[in-house]
Structure 1
Amino acid sequence: MTTLTIVGTGMGMATLTKEGEAAINKSDLIMGGGRMIAPYETSHRTLNCFRAEDILQAINETKATSPVLIVSGDVGFYSAARQVTEQLSDLLEIVLVPGISSLTYFAARLKKPLHDVYTISCHGREKNLIDAVRRQPQVFALTGQNTAELAAQLVLSGFGELKVIVGSDLGLATEKIETMSVRELKDRECPSLTVLWIENEDYCDRVRFGIPDQEFVRGDIPMTKAPVRAQVLAALSPWPTAVCYDVGCGTGSVTVELALACYEGKVYAIDDVAEAINLTEQNILNFQLGNVVTVSGTAPQALENLPAPDLCFIGGSKGNLSAIIDAVLAKNSNCHFVITAIKLDSCTRAMETLESRGLDLALTQTWSARGSGPRARMLVADNPIFIISGKYQGERSRE
């Protein structure tokens, strides 16, 4: 079996390791992107290719016995080496030669340790930089010609005055390292090879259930009150990477708490009332969330183009409860539902609908009275609420 050596070249030839240099020198075919193979074009046979299928074809056609794929940085840090290894490991013997990553290089230039920094790649992938910055004291971000866009998103979420250290063309003759505010970065043009080190002394990584009602922007739209909200979130039992629906999102109070809990996932807030969508979006900004998508429309039609959910909260169905549940189950038969109802007949209908689809039920009625006035000695009662939970307990797989 032919051995393919994947070499991480670090920040360029000056930072190439001895092991990487030896592998390249004895290679009879060097592959990689145009910028990567350019230094070797006069001394070796080179091919501009980096996709797995092209690499395999090149090896077969040239009958190379010691091919090398060179990648920038380190083979284990957001590298093309991962995909190539996964796709070709059954066909080729893969050897990985580590290099100096952009993170290691940049941290050394800044004289900063690595153990407290959170890493994220916003280069060619959808990633939630806003929540990373909100939750972490230091964030290292790879970018790709989108620094101004990323900075604009952070400014909109209230992070405009944070300090960001911008590293461009690291390891090259044109290397530049600058310190500025996120707001200043918004108006800068940066090269494609740019990394960011963002610092947030006031970071907050709390996951909060039952946030006080007064912390939300309110309007004339009904809101799930704090005591009920806390029990809804407990019933849903969200985890960091979960995909969630909030159907009938209202002011977005449940949306916010789901988004805080599912900070590496996604929350889709659905409502057909314009004011509800507007209030939800205001609360998203106020709580500095980057993982929420608002969807204006009536469920189940509004769910059609959304990804399959892990969790679905239904706070308002507009009489379409059965159709909503069926639409969600068609996307993921393991989805966990939580439904709130005020009226007995609505509670009964929700339970019958879930049970008829083969889901196991749990029912709670919650009623609370909260202290009011300067010394909180007058109790003010909230309406009693039914909380219905439905989840299939078998082995059905997510579709």
Structure 2
Amino acid sequence: MTQKWLSIIGIGEDGLQGLSTIARSLLDHAQIIVGGDRHLAMLPPDDHREKILWTSPISNSVEEIINRRGKSICVLASGDPLCYGIGVTLTRRIPISEMTIIPAPSSFSLACARLGWSLTEVETLSLCGRPPALLQSYIYPGARLLILSEGKNTPNIVAEILTQRGFGNSQITVLERMGGIHERRLTSTAAEWNTTEVADLNAIAVYCVADAGIVTLPRLPGLPDNAYHHDGQLTKREVRAVTLSTLAPTPGQLLWDIGAGCGSISIEWMRTHPRCGAIAIEQNSSRLQYIADNAAALGTPNLKIIAGKAPSVLRDLPTPDAIFIGGGVTADGLFDICWQALPPGGRLVANVVTMEGEQTLFQWYEKVGGNFTRIAIQRAEPIGKFLGWRAMAPVTQWIAVKA
């Protein structure tokens, strides 16, 4: 059996005295202790064992740990190390068979215990080292949110985002230093939040309440067209909904969005699940800014944006699970590079509105097969005093799944 040389011990606000007998034994017998300033300060002054302090980037400290593989090492972490914690980072590099993890209650569990919320019925996210715009996609009427805060300024940022979205009536509760003798709770509405004296160690609970008349955005594909800033290069709502259903995102999958326009397809792909990722490729410089602005406003700030023209910019990108081509299908060599990049089971979807585009798609169809769909949408619009049907340009959609 593999020797377990690494232990990861979760610590609460009550410090070392709150550790279990097993956790304390692992800490006492370790040759090397790893942690942040706050954790290492909990050790006795006469503890002269080797210490490793987390540095930035944290990958450097992880390498220090791996370089000492085989020595008895104890990592001290806050709460549950596998809840947005260092345990997640370390298990990506070190097999679980070589480590022991003993968690303390997470901030989420403690917050639920204080508020009487069911942990299975809340939305959880971390804003530690992450863009605050992530919060945007979690906001809807009646949502209960638990947020790991980056510091004392995070509650102000959360309150501002909620108020600007038309959720100023939402109740915010900031829970400081949970589990310790200095635990404190602060409560207000988002619109009235003005507290500046907040401890760095805090978590935020939000009960989302929409202001009167606010129209909220669904999580399903097919957001209103006016949810986006664009210059006309926008996959229209109805076509977008059909396209996302054809792309069929599942959690953790990656999309290449080629000819991204204002980014609507990749943004709505990512909104389907927090673990979905996307790369938006666009050559028009003004549209690149539209993509960035839309991604931030709609809660997908981690959308990767690449400036350039396909297929030349596609080389060396991470392997996609699906590829959408919304523009530029006639570019030389585009199909070959995209098809080679897809793994077995990967999906290639392309939308065109021109006859030249259809001819190209039919050439692709002759190579690998697939299916065609014609999407024809009509919207009712005023004609004088009456309503009449105005047809949108029909879209030809082709999908192929790699065997």
TM-score grouping bracket, smaller chain normalisation: 0.7 to 0.9
Pair 1:115–1:275, CA change in 2 (3 A): same
Consecutive unaligned residues in structure 2, runs of 5 or more: 54-60
SS state of the match for residue 112, structure 2?
helix
Pair 1:382–1:324, CA change in 2 (3 A): same
Pair 1:28–1:76, CA change in 2 (3 A): closer
Aligned counterparts of 2:305 and 2:27: Cα–Cα separation in 1: 54
- Greater shift, 344-353 or 104-113, is seen at 104-113
Pair 1:212–1:9, CA change in 2 (3 A): closer
1:250-291 Cα distance to aligned partner (Å, 9 max, x none): 455545543433543234444444554565566556655545
1:101 aligned partner, one-letter code: S
Match of 1:199 in 2: 207
Match of 2:328 among 317, 320, 335: 317
1:49 aligned partner, one-letter code: I
1:130-152 Cα distance to aligned partner (Å, 9 max, x none): 32345981222223347379649
Match of 2:220 in 1: 208
Q: CA RMSD in A?
A: 4.4
Is contact 1:256–1:284 with CA below 8 Å preserved after alignment? yes
Match of 2:102 in 1: 97
Match of 1:396 in 2: none
Is contact 1:24–1:30 with CA below 8 Å preserved after alignment? no
Is contact 2:136–2:297 with CA below 8 Å preserved after alignment? no
Consecutive unaligned residues in structure 1, runs of 5 or more: 394-399
Aligned counterparts of 2:138 and 2:295: Cα–Cα separation in 1: 15
Match of 2:50 in 1: 47
1:177-209 Cα distance to aligned partner (Å, 9 max, x none): 433555787995865533222332359684434
SS state of the match for residue 115, structure 1?
helix
Match of 1:386 in 2: 396
1:200-242 Cα distance to aligned partner (Å, 9 max, x none): 23596844344555x4557662443344333322321223433
Aligned counterparts of 2:29 and 2:358: Cα–Cα separation in 1: 70
Aligned counterparts of 1:113 and 1:303: Cα–Cα separation in 2: 44
2:29 aligned partner, one-letter code: S
Is contact 1:11–1:171 with CA below 8 Å preserved after alignment? yes
Is contact 2:8–2:74 with CA below 8 Å preserved after alignment? yes
Aligned counterparts of 1:228 and 1:20: Cα–Cα separation in 2: 58
- Greater shift, 229-238 or 303-312, is seen at 303-312
Aligned counterparts of 1:114 and 1:276: Cα–Cα separation in 2: 40
Match of 1:397 in 2: none
Q: Does 2:50 align with 1:38?
A: no
1:32-65 Cα distance to aligned partner (Å, 9 max, x none): 324324333346554323756655766856xx6x
Aligned counterparts of 1:317 and 1:234: Cα–Cα separation in 2: 22
1:317-352 Cα distance to aligned partner (Å, 9 max, x none): 1842x4444454565455422112223332121232
- Report how many aligned residue pairs link the two structures: 384
Pair 1:221–1:19, CA change in 2 (3 A): same
Q: Does 2:154 align with 1:147?
A: yes
Is contact 1:361–1:391 with CA below 8 Å preserved after alignment? yes
Is contact 1:31–1:55 with CA below 8 Å preserved after alignment? no
SS state of the match for residue 178, structure 1?
strand
SS state of the match for residue 364, structure 1?
strand
Q: Does 2:155 align with 1:123?
A: no
Aligned counterparts of 1:152 and 1:255: Cα–Cα separation in 2: 27
Pair 1:338–1:150, CA change in 2 (3 A): farther
Is contact 2:257–2:326 with CA below 8 Å preserved after alignment? yes
Pair 1:250–1:56, CA change in 2 (3 A): closer
Q: Does 2:265 align with 1:243?
A: no
1:237 aligned partner, one-letter code: A
Match of 1:367 in 2: 376
Match of 2:78 among 45, 50, 72: 72
Aligned counterparts of 1:276 and 1:157: Cα–Cα separation in 2: 24
Pair 1:273–1:170, CA change in 2 (3 A): same
SS state of the match for residue 39, structure 1?
coil
1:282-314 Cα distance to aligned partner (Å, 9 max, x none): 655665554545555433455568644332222
Is contact 1:169–1:193 with CA below 8 Å preserved after alignment? yes
TM-score norm. by structure 1 comes to 0.73
Is contact 2:229–2:294 with CA below 8 Å preserved after alignment? no
Aligned counterparts of 2:156 and 2:330: Cα–Cα separation in 1: 40
- Greater shift, 373-382 or 308-317, is seen at 373-382
Match of 2:241 among 218, 222, 230: 230
Pair 1:193–1:363, CA change in 2 (3 A): same
Q: Does 2:181 align with 1:178?
A: no
Is contact 1:11–1:102 with CA below 8 Å preserved after alignment? no
Match of 2:165 among 158, 171, 176: 158
Is contact 2:144–2:205 with CA below 8 Å preserved after alignment? yes
TM-score norm. by structure 2 comes to 0.73
